[in-house]
Amino acid sequence: MSQSIPVHVDEEITRFIERLWLKQGVSKNTSSAYQTDLRSFQKFLTAEQKTTLLNVDQHDLERYLLWRRQQGLSPRSTSRALSALKKFYQYAMAERLINHDPTARLARPKQPQAIPHSLSEAEVEALLNAQQLDDPVQLRDKAMLEVLYATGLRVTELVSLTVDQIHFQQELVRVIGKGNKERLVPLGEEALDWLHKYFAEAREKLYAKPGNWVFVTRRGGPLTRQAFWHRIRYYAQQADIRSHLSPHTLRHAFATHLLNHGADLRVLQMLLGHSDLSTTQIYTHVARERLQQLHATHHPRA
């Protein structure tokens, strides 16, 4: 799969990605993933039959999906690849680069419903208390973790926060999520207190003129998602947390703990910024497991 991609195909993929960003506000992460998916398909075609993705039929796509399965790639990643291909061929049809859509009758691969890994409330408490608060970097991290757990933001949303998105008097954060959709999320007293402390004691020590970014590095810019993920893992080690971690661990904990304490599913959907309630419903499985454990532990006839 090391064959090069024809120049005209690569240029068309780039134009498609630019159009997607301009018209649909697709995030950089999604754009990058789509670009990788389209190039992967072209490399497959080049290796197989010396054709291009602008000259394929449904049979070619079915062979590619079968090849992905044989390579052990997950249904989730294949579903995303198919989404990229469907959008690309819709674009190609609109631009009259092709005269039929080869993905029109392709069904998405069925995905097992993955239950997000979360942390217990005690583990979250340990993670939030693992920082050395006399260090400006760790005080910044403390404020970030508190905001993350209080709001359920995606990590990308957190690291890209600007000062004008924080409404201290209203105790709200204005979040710009996927597809540039905005939502208002309550911050809570604890997160607000740590934000105030970070602004007063650490932000300008990290960078004298921090500008509009809320959480800054010593270079003045925002953290990357990857850098913050490394920070989470570091504090998990400090707190001796051995549960499974992901970049969205605290987002999952936020959702699970709210449901465990009686939150309404549709309110949770709004807070998380899910466009479809079915995405939020995955957390009901976690809450149901918790209810079953409580029943088994405390009911006299369990």
Q: What is the CATH number of the domain that holds 59?
A: 1.10.150
d(CA 259, CA 265): 7
SS3 281: coil
Query: Are 130 and 226 members of one domain?
Result: yes
142, 231, 251, 252: which is the annotated catalytic residue? 251
Query: Are 45 and 136 members of one domain?
Result: no
Query: Are 69 and 201 members of one domain?
Result: no
Verify whether residue 105 is a known catalytic residue: no
Query: Are 79 and 19 members of one domain?
Result: yes
Verify whether residue 274 is a known catalytic residue: yes
Residue in the structure block whose two tokens are 């998105």: 165
pLDDT tens by residue, 160-199? 999 999 999 999 999 988 878 889 999 999 999 999 999 9
Between 125 and 73, residue with greater pLDDT: 125
pLDDT tens by residue, 244-283? 888 888 988 998 888 888 888 888 888 888 877 766 777 7
Verify whether residue 231 is a known catalytic residue: no
Query: Are 128 and 78 members of one domain?
Result: no
d(CA 47, CA 37): 15
154, 203, 231, 257: which is the annotated catalytic residue? 154
Q: Is residue 109 part of a domain?
A: no
SS3 3: coil
| Region of 118 on the Ramachandran plot (φ > 0 left; ψ -120 to 50 alpha; else beta) | beta
174, 183, 225, 274: which is the annotated catalytic residue? 274
Verify whether residue 248 is a known catalytic residue: yes
Q: How sure is the predictor about 2, in pLDDT bands with cuts at 50, 70 and 90? A: very low
Q: Is residue 107 part of a domain?
A: no
Query: Are 181 and 33 members of one domain?
Result: no
* Average pLDDT of span 60-86: 88
pLDDT tens by residue, 82-118? 989 999 999 999 999 999 999 988 876 665 556 667 8
User: How open is the CA angle 96-100-106, to the nearest 5 degrees?
Assistant: 130
Alpha carbon separation from 275 to 65, 187, 247, 270 (Å, rounded): 27, 21, 21, 8
pLDDT tens by residue, 195-241? 999 999 999 999 999 899 999 999 999 999 999 999 999 999 999 99
Verify whether residue 154 is a known catalytic residue: yes
Q: How sure is the predictor about 129, in pLDDT bands with cuts at 50, 70 and 90? A: very high
Query: Are 86 and 158 members of one domain?
Result: no
pLDDT at position 286 is 62
Query: Are 165 and 272 members of one domain?
Result: yes
Structural domains of the chain, count: 2
Verify whether residue 68 is a known catalytic residue: no
19, 39, 117, 178: which is the annotated catalytic residue? 178
Q: Is residue 116 part of a domain?
A: no
Query: Are 14 and 125 members of one domain?
Result: no
SS3 233: helix
Query: Are 181 and 85 members of one domain?
Result: no
Structural domain of 220: 121-298
Query: Are 61 and 125 members of one domain?
Result: no
